[in-house]
């Protein structure tokens, strides 16, 4: 993540200011509202790092996700509330977990463009496919039938199982390798979860 460049970009700071002037409930479609909240989450996640917060430690995670507050449409919220009280329960879309970022090495990568209502379905699919096929995030041992999945699948198992019936069934639909996808569909895989690397995914300006 190029935090230095973002910090110098006036458009980023203008966008943050505008978020407090927008009523997301006034947006006409579900897709527009979901894109709005994903973009807002990612902007706040970056802002937290620029303000000197960091999720690298347990205490840091509390400060970063809970104690740091932001403003949207005149309301105050934190990253934890935005994710677990708005994004997950209101939209029930597991691909959200591959669209929002947490400034860490093990989190999904930030897109180079904003999410939009018009392209949301394609963008969510692209993010899910990129994340699931990234060997630093998920690995599959076909010889021993073990799926080593991101800790994200552990934390939000209910979301993925509710959608597809099992974790392996969910990831299979996004696996690029057709032979692996077939194997996952026809064989029983044991699921193990990888450790989550909370190391920052870039150097914030204060560390330069």
pLDDT score, position 208: 39
| Mean pLDDT, residues 173-179 | 98
SS3 breakdown of the chain: % helix, strand, coil, rounded to 5?
55, 10, 35
pLDDT score, position 95: 98
- Enclosing H/E stretch for 172: helix 167-172
In the three-class reduction of DSSP (H, G, I as helix; E, B as strand; rest coil), residue 140 is classed as strand
pLDDT band at 1 (very low <50, low <70, confident <90, very high): confident
**CB 172 within 8 Å of CB 184:** yes
Count the neighbouring beta carbons within 10 Å of the beta carbon of residue 169: 14
pLDDT band at 2 (very low <50, low <70, confident <90, very high): confident
Half-sphere exposure of 79 (CA within 13 A, CB side): 25
Q: Which tokens go with 136?
A: 């630093």
Please say if the pLDDT value at position 165 is more than 90.
yes
DSSP string, 15-30: HHHHHTT--GGGSSSH
Please say if the pLDDT value at position 8 is more than 50.
yes
Q: Over the chain, what is the mean pLDDT?
A: 96
In the three-class reduction of DSSP (H, G, I as helix; E, B as strand; rest coil), residue 151 is classed as helix
DSSP string, 103-134: SBTTSPPPPSS---TTTHHHHHHHHHHHHHT-
| Mean pLDDT, residues 161-175 | 98
pLDDT score, position 206: 63
Please say if the pLDDT value at position 207 is more than 70.
no
User: Residue 121 and residue 8: Cα distance in Å, rounded?
Assistant: 31
Angle at 3 between CA 198 and CA 109, to 5 degrees: 55
> What confidence tens digit (pLDDT) does each residue in 55-106 have?
999 999 999 999 999 999 999 999 999 999 999 999 999 999 999 999 999 9
> Structure pTM?
0.95
Angle at 128 between CA 126 and CA 134, to 5 degrees: 100
pLDDT score, position 205: 77
| Mean pLDDT, residues 42-64 | 96
Q: Which of 148, 103, 99, 150 is nearest to 120 (CA)?
A: 99
Q: Give the CA radius of gyration of the chain.
A: 18
Q: Which of 152, 156, 70, 33 is nearest to 104 (CA)?
A: 152
| Mean pLDDT, residues 11-18 | 96
């Amino acid at each position: 993540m190029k935090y230095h460049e973002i910090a110098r970009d006036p458009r980023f700071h203008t966008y943050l200011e505008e978020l407090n002037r927008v009523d997301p409930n006034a947006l006409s479609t579900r897709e527009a509202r979901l894109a709005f909240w994903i973009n807002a989450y990612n902007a706040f996640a970056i802002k937290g790092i620029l303000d000197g917060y960091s999720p690298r430690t347990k205490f840091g995670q509390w400060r970063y996700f809970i104690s740091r507050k932001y403003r949207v449409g005149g309301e105050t919220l934190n990253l934890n509330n935005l994710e677990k009280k708005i994004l997950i329960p209101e939209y029930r879309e597991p691909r959200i977990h591959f669209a929002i970022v947490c400034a860490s090495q093990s989190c999904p990568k930030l897109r180079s463009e904003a999410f939009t209502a018009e392209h949301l379905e394609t963008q969510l699919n692209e993010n899910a496919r990129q994340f699931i096929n990234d060997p630093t995030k998920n690995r599959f041992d076909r010889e021993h039938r073990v799926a080593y999945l991101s800790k994200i699948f552990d934390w939000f198992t209910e979301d993925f199982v509710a959608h597809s019936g099992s974790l392996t069934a969910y990831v299979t639909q996004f696996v690029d390798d057709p032979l692996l996808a077939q194997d996952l569909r026809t064989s029983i895989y044991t699921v193990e979860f990888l450790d989550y690397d909370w190391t920052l995914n870039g150097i914030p300006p204060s560390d330069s």
